[in-house]
Amino acid sequence: MVRALVIGAGAVGTKVAQQLLASNSVDQIVLRDISPEKLGTASKTLSGRVEVEHFPFSQNMDADVVVVASPRGTQLEAVKNSIRLSRPTVVVSDGLAETISILKLEEEAFNLKVPVVVGTGFAPGLSCVLAAYGETMLDEIEEIHVSKMGTGGPACALVHHRALSRSSYGWRENCWDRKLGGSGRELLWFPEPVGPQDCYNASLADPILLHHVFPKVSRISAKMAATRRDRFTAFFPMLTPPHSEGGIGAIRVELRGQKNSVHENVVIGVAERPAVAAASVTALTVEFLLNKKTKLNHMSTLGLMIDASEFLSELAKRSIDIQIFEGDKTTV
């Protein structure tokens, strides 16, 4: 019997459990969360093949695969424990500081031969896969620029809220470039129905993970769509509680490079509810791990772990479709 341990019964974790059970990828789900309310809601939503675990949790992870979809600040210890127990792990991480801390466990995962996929959400996650897919359209990549709009559940909304008030890091000419969060306003077009949005520098994990996938690319950056109110209130506690799940969001990945010795830009995007997309990406990553379809047997990012074309084809079956900006090639 194949068991999956899902840590976190929020908007993403619950949907991951739903998709894994619906696809019959696992026989049983063990769902952990510190909130009895979330576990109660999840157990009503899911079938009888779900076992809920309340706090305090057992240190034993009796499962074939572990999904870490808990709030920021709780993921590092969970990943440490899963590596110690040699459990294949999928981490839905989006906080910059915690993502860096998790990546520092790479040597331990390598020595124990434990596959750990870091960043399997909307962005980072699907954004890394889109960049890997875009690589096939160019002969050489010089720059990668990621932008995102929207949030998943309350934990994601909190990370989004704080990101504008903290330093943004991008890769620029062989060193990390630090910028003020909320600066660098740029109007960017996302796939419909989202359309054009003002985007700003923010404390995002995408550049860190993309640099792992594309170490030779000279410039990597990430921005986030925000309103004037978002920027003003970013330095204060959230004034109103976030919704249980955000609405439609989008990601946009722009690659600049050369093809046939000519400079080209490739723009790829996806419009979807972030929690739905993150759950689809995470559940599919779990299936790739269980079916031995991942390329590496240690810690790495999603873009290096899977074949991008195959992964996106499988995502399309879950109604997560990519859009490629064609543009107008006509010259005057």
Same domain, 166 and 56: no
In a domain, 331, yes or no: no
- Measure CA 20 to chain center: 18
Neighbours of 146 (CB within 10 A): 27
Count of the separate structural domains present in the chain: 2
What pLDDT sits at residue 327? 66
CA distances from 284 to 31, 98, 126, 280 (A): 18, 23, 11, 6
Model confidence at 43: pLDDT above 80: yes
Model confidence at 329: pLDDT above 70: no
* Residue 109 structural domain: 3-121+277-313
> 188 Cβ partners below 8 Å, 6+ apart?
147, 196, 197, 199, 223, 225, 252
- pLDDT tens figures, 129-173: 999 999 999 999 999 999 999 988 777 778 878 888 899 999 999
Same domain, 259 and 296: no
Of 93-107, 173-187, 242-256, 318-332, the one with minimum mean pLDDT is 318-332
Same domain, 155 and 171: yes
Cβ atoms of residues 33 and 154 within 8 Å: no
Same domain, 189 and 259: yes
Same domain, 90 and 165: no
Find the CATH number of the domain harbouring 84. 3.40.50.720
Of 153-167, 185-199, 254-268, 283-297, the one with minimum mean pLDDT is 153-167
Torsion sign, CA atoms 200, 203, 205, 211: positive
Same domain, 30 and 8: yes
CA distances from 196 to 147, 192, 272 (A): 11, 9, 15
Question: Residue 328's pLDDT band (boundaries 50, 70, 90)?
Answer: low
Q: What is the mean pLDDT of residues 289-305?
A: 95
d(CA 22, CA 47): 10
Model confidence at 48: pLDDT above 80: no
d(CA 158, CA 238): 8
